[in-house]
Amino acid sequence: MEAPLLPRVLAGWRPGEPLSCDEHTALHGPLPTPTRRADLLREVERSGLRGRGGAGFPTATKLQAVAGARGRPVVVANGGEGEPASRKDRTLLASAPHLVLDGALLAAAAVDAREVIIAVRATSQRAIAAIDEALRERRDTGRAEVSIVEVPPTFVAGEESALVSYLNTGRALPTFVPPRPFERGVGGRPTLVQNVETLAHLALIARHGAEWFRQVGAADDPGSNLVSLLGAVAHPGVYEIESGTSVSALLDAAGRATEPLGAVLLGGYGGAWVTAARASSLGLGRAGDLATSLGAGVVAALPAGACGVCETARLLRYLAGESAGQCGPCAYGVAAIADAFTEIAERTAAPGTHRWIERWSEDVTGRGACGHPDGAALLAASALFAFRDDIAAHEAGERCGTPGGPPWVLPLPDHLEAAAL
């Protein structure tokens, strides 16, 4: 069956209605049965597929690590989606549950796992209902037993060690590594944790091959990505884009910005602010020079009239409140950065406060149990650069363009548009 170049994982999307098993099979063809585990692993490696959950880690490397570990592995499909601004994973689960299940079962076959856990954000009721119905439609899941687990709607719950901790103890707390989940995860067994979008791509690679997957995107960053687009755009929603697509092309596809932009947030709450002038030609991806641009798959457009300092302070306060409180860089460092940024936003900070934020951002990076403080530090440091004139005005007690107003980086509604570029 010849597959389209785009859309891929969003093929057949209908607002608020998942594809049935028969519709899924008619669209994508039957689930292939790998003749040899080594063949599937080799094809995934040739495809260059990277994780779509944030870090962009090579999928084949993860699969091979779990396949080579001792003990009976477990596969966890991570649909926790703790990033508040993202709706890509729950949109995918709610519209194409069988494609995610295909990928999870293929991953289980590749690592010889007999247990598959579909982890879904507890508040994503449409996604949970779609996966539950998809499992009822499938009378046979091969050798693997599949279950659904609802996970807390917290920021850190989607981090893989926190997710494993929740599955083991009921507490979604990141753990120090090593050991990593592929060494000792769920029940102490080798565990493959893959984002649900990654698994959907895996299901298509198994059907159409690595060469087909690489027909879009760049040589070092092939394939397509789901992006949650929000802010000052005519049609916010979830878009499937070719890796390397420019920010301006994405905005054009969404009906363009509704007003002149001052900056764009790339990657979500733990991502980076980029000035609108620089962002327009910047590509979106997960490898090479674009490695940090997509992150959690969020692009948020901030109007020129909005206050980026106030917006950043709000995001940092949220991140500080989401700390697991287990290590100093997160419990104290992120809180200190958020407090200082809030003082700047409220124009009560002493001149030069931004230099303390620079220092603290460097101090916390790479020192936490998970990447939570790293994301907060990246957000703060990028804001110091993108909004440096406004920060200087705030520290001088002056008003910038719009020193208040409604927040712009807000969660997308559950019912939204989805499209492919």
Packing angle of the helix pair 372-386, 335-345 (nearest 10 deg): 30
Per-residue pLDDT at 221: 92
Task: Could you please state the CATH topology (level 3) that the domain comprising 308-395 is classified under.
Answer: de novo design (two linked rop proteins) (1.20.1440)
Q: Is the pLDDT of residue 286 over 70?
A: yes
In tens, the pLDDT along 56-99 reads 899 999 999 999 898 899 999 999 999 999 999 999 999 999 99
Task: Could you please state the CATH topology (level 3) that the domain comprising 221-306+411-419 is classified under.
Answer: Ubiquitin-like (UB roll) (3.10.20)
Per-residue pLDDT at 390: 93
Per-residue pLDDT at 134: 97
Q: How would residue 409 be classed by pLDDT, with cut points 50, 70 and 90?
A: confident
- Report which of 13, 9, 23, 15 is spatially closest to residue 99, judged by C-alpha positions: 9
269 dihedral zone (left: phi>0; alpha: psi -120 to 50; beta): alpha
Q: How would residue 329 be classed by pLDDT, with cut points 50, 70 and 90?
A: confident
**Number of CB atoms found within 10 A of residue 58's CB:** 16
Q: Does domain 21-215 have CATH number 3.30.360.30?
A: no
> Residue range 129-152: average pLDDT?
93
Is 221-306+411-419 in the same CATH topology as 21-215?
Answer: no
* 143 CB-near residues (< 8 Å, 6+ apart): 108, 109, 114
In tens, the pLDDT along 219-237 reads 999 999 999 999 999 999 9
* Mean predicted lDDT score pLDDT of the chain: 91
Q: How would residue 106 be classed by pLDDT, with cut points 50, 70 and 90?
A: very high
* Residue 415 CA from chain centroid, whole number: 19
- Report which of 39, 276, 322 is spatially closest to residue 157, judged by C-alpha positions: 322
Q: Where are the domains of the chain?
A: 21-215, 221-306+411-419, 308-395
Q: Is the pLDDT of residue 201 over 90?
A: yes
pLDDT-above-70 percentage for the chain: 94
Residue 295, CA atoms < 13 Å, CB-side half-sphere: 28
Residue 193, CA atoms < 13 Å, CB-side half-sphere: 27
Per-residue pLDDT at 404: 59
> Residue range 127-148: average pLDDT?
93
Q: Is the pLDDT of residue 389 over 60?
A: yes
Q: Is the pLDDT of residue 403 over 60?
A: no
